[in-house]
C-alpha cells in the first residue's frame, strides 16, 4: 500500500493558489509602520484613557487636575481653578511653580513643549520633582493634548507669562513670552476632539464629585469649580481633610459614637491616613485611595486595614469578655462602618493602567501593623466607643444568623426550574433557554394584565408587584427576606440572595424593571434597585438588571405609527422630515437641497449652541459681528483691558504685537492679571508697584466659544454666506422675503438663516399627530408590546456600577433615615426636573 503523500510534499491545486496569493503579500520590512506618539494615542485612545465614552472624556479633565494636585501634594500649590467654558472646553489653572519653559538639554526644545507633546517625559519618573504623584504614569497631560481638537497652555513663571498653542497635539508655533506677571502656576485649556469622542459634553456632577473628593483628600487646598454653561459653581476647601469626608458621607446616617476615629502616620516612607465612624446603617461605606487615586477594587492597603480591624476588635472583645455564644466575623465588624483610607506610596504598583487596585505587597503589612497598633490604643482609651462598636457587631452577627436561616428556607423550596415553589402570580415563559428568557417586574396588577396580554409568551415572564416593596436600605436582611413581594422576586429569579448567590441557578438572562414614569413608578423602581443593590449585587455586577424605557412620543402619519424615545430624537426626526424634498433659495439665483442643505443645517445648529454660550457672557452676536476682521470675516477671540481702555483682537499674534508695541513705546511693563487670584494678587501687585520700573495693568479674557463660531463661519463662507446672513435686515412690507424655503406646494419666507432650523422642523411636523406618553398605564397590551416588550423596537437601559461609591452615597441620602439630606438633595436638583408629574 503506497504511503500517503503529505501536503508539503505534493501541494494540491488549491494550496498552490493560496501560496501564490500569500507570496504577493510577503512579510517584509516595508510592511511595518512606525507611528508617532501622537498618531498612536489618537489611533488607540482606549489604551490610555480606558474608553472614548463618558468615562474617558471626563478622565481628560482629571488628568490635568492631577498635575495641579501633584503640585499641591508637593507643597507648592494652594489653589486650583477648574472651569467648564461656554463652548464645552475646560480650563484648569493652579498657583504652583509652573511648568519649566527653558530649552531641555536632552530633547532640544522647550520643556513645556516636551511635556505636552512627548510621552514618557515628565517629573514623575524620579523623586526629584514629585515624591508621590497620581496621573497616568507621566503621560496624562500629553494624552489630553493629543486627544483635543485644540489646546492652549499658559505658564506663569519667573515673573513672565509664556504660551503655546496646539491643534490635535501638534504645536502651532513655538513657546512665546507674552507678558509680565507676579503670579506663578500653569493654566491649561483644551477642547476634546469630536473626531475621537462621540459625545464631548461634560457632566457637571461627575466633575463636581471628583473635585470635592480631591479637596477632602488634600486638606487645606482650595478648589474652585465653575460651569459657565449654567453659571453653577462651588468652592471646596476642607481644613480637617478626610475627617470631614467621613462626616459628609455620614450626613444621612445616625452615628453610634460622636467623634470620627482618626489616625495619621508615616511608616517606611508610606503615609497612612485613616478616618472612620460607625453608624446605625446596615452596610459598609468604605473608600480607599492611593496617591489621591480611588482604588475601587481595593488592594493590599485595604487588605491590611481589614485584617487589623478584625484582629483588633476580636482581641478586645475576648479580653473584655464581651463575646458569649456568638463571635462576630470581619463582615460583622464592618457593618455600618463609614471609612476613608488614604495612603501615599512613593512607587505604587497598580494592577492595570486604570489603577483600581494596589499591588505593593509590602504595603499590606505596613498598614496592618500601623492600624492595629492605633486601634488597640484607641479602644483602651475609649471604652464607651469600643463597647458600642462591639455591640453593633454582635447585633450584625445575630442578624446574619437570622438571615442565614431565612435564606435556608428559600433554598429548601423545591425545583425552581420545574415550577414548584414559584409565586402563584408569576406568568412564566415556556422556554427553558435561560439566557434567552426575560423576567419583567411590573408595577401593579393592571399594568401586569397589559403586559401579560402583550408579552411574547415563549421567553418573557411577567411578575406583577403589589404596592411598594420594603425599603431594603433601612431594614435588616432578615426583615427584608420576610417581605412577601421580595420573597416572590427571589423565588422567581432562583439564584438566592446575599453572599450565597449562585448565578448558575438563574432562571432568566435578563431581569427587567418596568414601572410608570410618574412619581409612584419612580419610587417603586428606586425601591427595587435598592433591593438588588443590597441583596442581589451580583446580578447588577453581571449586567443582568435592566430598566424598560417606554417611548416619550407616539407619532402617527395617516395609518403608519412609530415611537420616539427622547425629545432630542424627536427634534432630529422633525428636522429630517422637514429636509425631505425641501429646497432653500438664498436669493442669489442658487438653490440648495439634499446633502448641501443638510450640511447647512448642521453648521447652523453648531453655531446656535456657541452663540447661546456667548450671549450668556452678555455679548450680543450682532454687536460682536461689528468687530469682525474685514479681511477674514473672523470674530475677535480676545477681549483686552489695559488700564482704563478696552481692545479686541482676532488672533493671539495681533494681541502679542500690540503688547510689544505698547511696552516699547511707553517703556512700562505690562503686568498680566489673572481671572482668579483676587485680593492676594492685587495686594502683592500693589506692593511691587513701588519698584523703580513703572507698571500697567493688563487683563485678557479669551472667548473660547468664539473659536467654535469662527470655525463654522468659515463653513458658511464656503457655502456662500457671511455672518450678516444670521441677522434679519430692515425691509418694507412690499419687498419679497430675503430667503425662500420651498417644500412641495408650501412656500415660506425667511428673513435670516437662524430661522431655517425652526422652519424646517415646523414643516416636518405637518401631517403628523404627535402624542406624548406619560407612562405604561396609558398603553394597551398592543401598544405595550410594540413599544416596550418587542426586542425589535424596545429600549432597555442596563443598570451598571461604574461608581459604586457614588451609588452607595445616593442610596444612603435618598433611602436613609435622615430627612434633611434628602430635602437638601431635592432642593439642589429641583430646577433640573423637566417633566414634573403633579
Cell numbers standing for residue 573: 426626526
Kindly state the average pLDDT of the residues 226-243. 92
Dihedral (CA of 791, 793, 794, 795) sign = positive
CB 38 within 8 A of CB 116: no
CB 246 within 8 A of CB 259: no
Place of cell 401586569: 448
Cα–Cα distance for residue pair 364/298, rounded to 1 Å: 11
On the question of pLDDT at 426 being above 80, the answer is yes
Cα–Cα distance for residue pair 278/282, rounded to 1 Å: 10
What confidence score (pLDDT) does residue 732 get? 64
CB 662 within 8 A of CB 727: no
Query: In which band, very low, low, confident or very high, does the pLDDT at 267 lie, cut at 50, 70 and 90?
Result: very high
Kindly state the average pLDDT of the residues 540-552. 88
> pLDDT digits over 288-328, tens only?
999 998 888 899 999 999 999 999 999 999 999 998 888 99
Nearest to residue 277, comparing CAs of 388, 364, 370? 388
Tell me how far apart the 2 most distant CA atoms of the chain are, in Å. 110
Place of cell 424655503: 741
Those residues with Cβ within 8 angstroms of residue 466's Cβ, 6 or more apart along the chain or in another chain:
444, 445, 485
Partners of 224 in beta bridges: 81, 235
Determine the Cα angle at 274 with ends 271 and 275, to 5°.
150
What confidence score (pLDDT) does residue 829 get? 58
Residue bearing the bigger pLDDT, 144 or 776: 144
Please give the distance of CA 706 from its chain centroid, rounded to a whole number: 26
On the question of pLDDT at 417 being above 50, the answer is no
Catalytic site residue from 516, 673, 705, 783:
516
Cα–Cα distance for residue pair 468/521, rounded to 1 Å: 9
What confidence score (pLDDT) does residue 337 get? 95
Partners of 438 in beta bridges: 460, 510
> pLDDT digits over 789-818, tens only?
989 888 888 988 766 566 666 766 776 666
> pLDDT digits over 184-220, tens only?
999 999 999 989 998 999 999 899 999 999 999 999 9
> pLDDT digits over 93-123, tens only?
999 999 999 988 888 899 999 999 988 776 5
Alpha-carbon Rg for the chain in angstroms: 32
Cα–Cα distance for residue pair 386/369, rounded to 1 Å: 19
Those residues with Cβ within 8 angstroms of residue 366's Cβ, 6 or more apart along the chain or in another chain:
267, 268, 270, 272, 304
Give me the half-sphere count of Cα atoms (radius 13 Å) on the Cβ side of residue 102. 4
Tell me the binding residues: 443, 516, 518
What confidence score (pLDDT) does residue 125 get? 41
Cα–Cα distance for residue pair 450/774, rounded to 1 Å: 16
Look at residue 567 and give its three-state secondary structure: helix
Kindly state the average pLDDT of the residues 407-424. 55
Cα–Cα distance for residue pair 89/67, rounded to 1 Å: 18
On the question of pLDDT at 232 being above 60, the answer is yes
Those residues with Cβ within 8 angstroms of residue 186's Cβ, 6 or more apart along the chain or in another chain:
67, 68, 93, 94, 96, 98, 99, 153, 154, 155, 156
CB 556 within 8 A of CB 771: yes
On the question of pLDDT at 691 being above 80, the answer is no
On the question of pLDDT at 718 being above 70, the answer is yes
> pLDDT digits over 722-773, tens only?
999 999 887 666 678 889 999 888 889 998 998 898 899 888 888 888 888 7
What's the chain's average pLDDT? 83
β 90-94/79-84 pair status? antiparallel
CB 515 within 8 A of CB 446: no
What confidence score (pLDDT) does residue 645 get? 87
Dihedral (CA of 386, 390, 392, 393) sign = positive
**How many other CB atoms are found less than 10 A from the CB of residue 782?**
11
β 293-294/222-227 pair status? unpaired
Least confident interval from 120-124, 636-640, 660-664: 120-124
CB 595 within 8 A of CB 693: no
Look at residue 639 and give its three-state secondary structure: strand
What is the share, in percent, of the chain residues with pLDDT greater than 90?
41
Rounded (10°) CA dihedral 245, 251, 257, 259 = 40
Catalytic site residue from 232, 297, 478, 518:
518
> pLDDT digits over 12-28, tens only?
555 555 554 455 556 66
CB 387 within 8 A of CB 310: no
442-471 burial string, b = 16+ CB within 10 Å, else e? Answer: bbbeebbebbbebbeeebbbbbbbeeebbb
Tell me the binding residues for Mg(2+): 443, 516, 518
Annotation marks residue 443 as catalytic: yes
Query: In which band, very low, low, confident or very high, does the pLDDT at 460 lie, cut at 50, 70 and 90?
Result: very high
Query: In which band, very low, low, confident or very high, does the pLDDT at 138 lie, cut at 50, 70 and 90?
Result: very low
Annotation marks residue 538 as catalytic: no
Look at residue 141 and give its three-state secondary structure: helix
Residue 224 burial by CB count (10 A; 0-12/13-18/19+): exposed, middle or buried? middle
Determine the Cα angle at 649 with ends 643 and 650, to 5°.
165
Nearest to residue 492, comparing CAs of 441, 534, 444? 441
Kindly state the average pLDDT of the residues 813-837. 63
Look at residue 94 and give its three-state secondary structure: strand
Catalytic site residue from 71, 94, 364, 443:
443
Alpha helices in 584-729 (DSSP H): 594-616, 621-625, 652-666, 678-688, 704-718
On the question of pLDDT at 391 being above 60, the answer is yes
φ, ψ of residue 585 to 5 degrees: the values are -115, 110
Cα–Cα distance for residue pair 634/706, rounded to 1 Å: 9
Residue bearing the bigger pLDDT, 418 or 393: 393
Cα–Cα distance for residue pair 48/763, rounded to 1 Å: 46
Cα–Cα distance for residue pair 83/704, rounded to 1 Å: 12
What confidence score (pLDDT) does residue 833 get? 52
CB 441 within 8 A of CB 489: yes
What confidence score (pLDDT) does residue 523 get? 80
Domains in the chain: ranges and CATH: 40-236 (3.30.565.10), 242-382 (3.30.230.10), 413-547 (3.40.50.670), 573-631+705-765 (3.30.300)
Annotation marks residue 520 as catalytic: yes
Give me the half-sphere count of Cα atoms (radius 13 Å) on the Cβ side of residue 191. 17
Query: In which band, very low, low, confident or very high, does the pLDDT at 409 lie, cut at 50, 70 and 90?
Result: low
Look at residue 190 and give its three-state secondary structure: strand
Catalytic site residue from 234, 520, 585, 803:
520
β 638-642/645-649 pair status? antiparallel
β 337-344/285-290 pair status? parallel
Kindly state the average pLDDT of the residues 487-513. 89
Cα–Cα distance for residue pair 739/751, rounded to 1 Å: 6
CB 40 within 8 A of CB 117: no
> pLDDT digits over 58-92, tens only?
999 999 999 999 899 888 999 999 999 988 899 99
Amino acid at each position: 500500500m503506497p504511503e500517503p503523500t503529505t501536503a508539503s510534499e505534493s501541494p494540491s491545486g488549491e494550496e498552490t493558489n493560496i501560496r501564490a496569493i500569500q507570496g504577493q503579500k510577503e512579510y517584509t520590512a516595508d510592511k511595518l509602520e512606525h507611528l508617532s506618539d501622537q498618531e498612536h494615542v489618537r489611533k488607540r485612545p482606549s489604551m490610555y484613557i480606558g474608553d472614548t465614552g463618558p468615562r474617558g472624556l471626563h478622565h481628560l479633565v482629571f488628568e490635568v487636575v492631577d498635575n495641579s494636585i501633584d503640585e499641591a501634594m508637593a507643597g507648592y500649590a494652594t489653589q486650583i481653578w477648574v472651569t467648564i467654558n461656554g463652548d464645552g472646553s475646560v480650563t484648569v489653572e493652579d498657583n504652583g511653580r509652573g511648568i519649566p519653559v527653558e530649552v531641555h538639554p536632552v530633547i532640544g526644545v522647550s520643556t513645556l513643549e516636551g511635556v505636552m507633546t512627548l510621552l514618557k517625559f515628565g517629573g514623575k519618573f524620579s523623586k526629584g520633582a514629585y515624591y508621590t504623584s497620581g496621573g497616568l504614569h507621566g503621560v496624562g497631560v500629553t494624552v489630553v493634548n493629543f486627544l483635543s481638537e485644540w489646546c492652549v497652555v499658559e505658564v506663569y513663571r519667573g515673573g513672565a507669562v509664556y504660551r503655546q498653542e496646539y491643534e490635535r497635539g501638534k504645536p502651532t508655533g513655538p513657546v512665546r513670552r507674552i507678558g509680565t506677571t507676579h503670579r506663578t502656576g500653569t493654566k491649561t485649556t483644551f477642547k476634546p476632539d469630536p473626531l475621537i469622542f462621540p459625545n464631548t459634553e461634560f457632566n457637571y456632577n461627575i466633575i463636581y464629585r471628583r473635585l470635592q473628593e480631591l479637596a477632602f483628600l488634600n486638606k487645606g487646598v482650595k478648589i474652585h469649580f465653575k460651569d459657565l454653561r449654567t453659571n453653577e459653581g462651588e468652592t471646596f476647601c476642607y481644613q480637617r481633610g478626610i475627617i470631614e469626608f467621613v462626616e459628609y458621607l455620614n450626613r444621612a446616617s445616625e452615628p453610634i459614637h460622636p467623634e470620627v476615629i482618626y489616625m495619621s502616620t508615616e511608616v517606611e516612607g508610606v503615609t497612612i491616613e485613616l478616618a472612620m465612624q460607625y453608624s446605625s446603617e446596615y452596610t459598609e461605606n468604605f473608600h480607599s485611595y492611593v496617591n489621591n487615586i480611588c482604588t475601587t477594587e481595593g488592594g493590599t492597603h485595604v487588605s491590611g486595614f481589614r485584617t487589623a480591624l478584625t484582629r483588633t476588635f476580636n482581641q478586645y472583645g475576648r479580653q473584655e469578655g464581651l463575646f458569649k455564644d456568638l463571635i462576630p466575623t470581619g463582615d460583622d465588624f464592618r457593618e455600618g462602618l463609614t471609612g476613608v483610607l488614604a495612603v501615599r506610596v512613593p512607587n505604587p504598583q497598580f494592577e492595570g493602567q486604570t489603577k483600581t487596585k494596589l499591588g505593593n505587597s509590602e504595603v499590606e503589612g505596613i498598614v496592618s501593623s500601623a492600624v492595629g497598633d492605633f486601634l488597640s490604643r484607641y479602644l483602651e482609651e475609649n471604652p464607651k466607643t469600643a463597647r458600642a462598636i462591639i455591640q453593633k457587631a454582635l447585633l450584625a452577627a445575630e442578624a446574619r444568623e437570622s438571615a442565614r436561616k431565612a435564606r435556608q428556607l428559600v433554598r429548601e423550596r423545591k425545583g425552581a426550574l420545574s415550577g414548584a415553589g414559584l409565586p402563584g402570580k408569576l406568568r412564566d415563559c415556556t422556554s427553558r433557554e435561560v439566557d434567552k428568557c426575560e423576567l419583567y417586574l411590573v408595577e401593579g396588577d393592571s399594568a401586569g394584565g397589559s403586559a401579560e396580554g402583550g408579552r411574547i409568551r415563549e421567553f418573557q415572564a411577567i411578575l406583577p408587584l403589589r404596592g411598594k416593596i420594603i425599603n431594603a436600605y433601612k431594614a435588616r436582611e432578615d426583615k427584608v427576606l420576610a417581605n412577601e413581594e421580595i420573597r416572590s422576586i427571589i423565588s422567581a429569579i432562583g439564584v438566592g440572595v446575599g453572599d450565597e448567590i449562585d448565578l448558575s441557578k438563574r432562571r432568566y438572562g435578563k431581569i427587567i424593571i418596568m414601572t410608570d414614569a410618574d412619581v409612584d413608578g419612580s419610587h417603586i423602581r428606586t425601591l427595587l434597585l435598592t433591593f438588588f443593590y443590597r441583596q442581589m449585587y451580583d446580578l447588577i455586577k453581571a449586567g443582568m438588571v435592566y430598566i424598560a424605557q417606554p417611548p416619550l412620543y407616539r407619532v402617527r402619519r395617516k395609518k403608519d405609527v412609530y415611537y420616539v424615545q427622547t425629545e432630542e430624537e424627536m427634534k432630529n426626526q422633525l428636522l429630517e422630515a422637514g429636509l425631505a424634498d425641501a429646497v432653500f433659495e438664498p436669493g442669489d439665483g442658487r438653490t440648495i437641497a439634499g446633502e448641501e442643505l443638510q450640511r447647512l443645517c448642521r453648521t447652523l445648529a453648531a453655531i446656535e449652541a456657541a452663540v447661546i454660550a456667548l450671549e450668556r457672557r452678555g455679548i450680543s452676536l450682532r454687536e460682536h459681528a461689528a468687530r469682525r476682521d474685514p479681511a477674514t470675516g473672523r470674530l475677535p477671540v480676545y477681549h483686552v483691558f489695559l488700564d482704563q481702555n478696552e481692545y479686541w483682537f482676532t488672533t493671539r499674534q495681533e494681541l502679542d504685537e500690540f503688547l510689544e508695541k505698547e511696552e516699547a513705546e511707553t517703556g512700562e511693563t505690562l503686568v498680566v492679571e489673572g481671572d482668579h487670584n483676587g485680593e492676594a494678587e492685587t495686594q502683592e501687585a500693589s506692593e511691587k508697584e513701588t519698584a523703580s520700573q513703572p507698571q500697567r495693568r493688563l487683563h485678557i479674557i479669551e472667548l473660547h466659544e468664539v473659536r467654535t463660531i469662527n470655525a463654522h463661519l468659515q463653513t458658511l463662507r464656503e457655502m456662500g454666506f457671511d455672518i450678516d446672513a444670521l441677522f434679519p435686515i430692515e425691509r418694507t412690507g412690499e419687498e419679497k422675503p430675503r430667503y425662500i424655503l420651498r417644500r412641495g406646494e408650501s412656500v415660506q419666507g425667511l428673513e435670516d438663516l437662524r430661522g431655517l432650523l425652526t422652519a424646517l422642523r415646523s414643516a416636518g411636523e405637518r401631517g403628523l399627530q404627535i402624542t406624548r406618553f406619560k407612562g405604561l398605564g396609558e398603553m394597551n397590551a398592543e401598544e405595550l408590546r410594540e413599544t416596550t416588550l418587542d426586542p425589535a423596537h424596545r429600549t432597555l437601559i442596563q443598570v451598571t456600577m461604574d461608581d459604586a461609591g457614588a451609588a452607595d452615597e445616593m442610596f444612603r441620602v435618598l433611602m436613609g433615615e435622615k430627612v434633611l439630606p434628602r430635602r437638601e438633595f431635592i432642593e439642589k436638583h429641583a430646577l433640573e426636573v423637566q417633566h414634573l408629574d403633579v
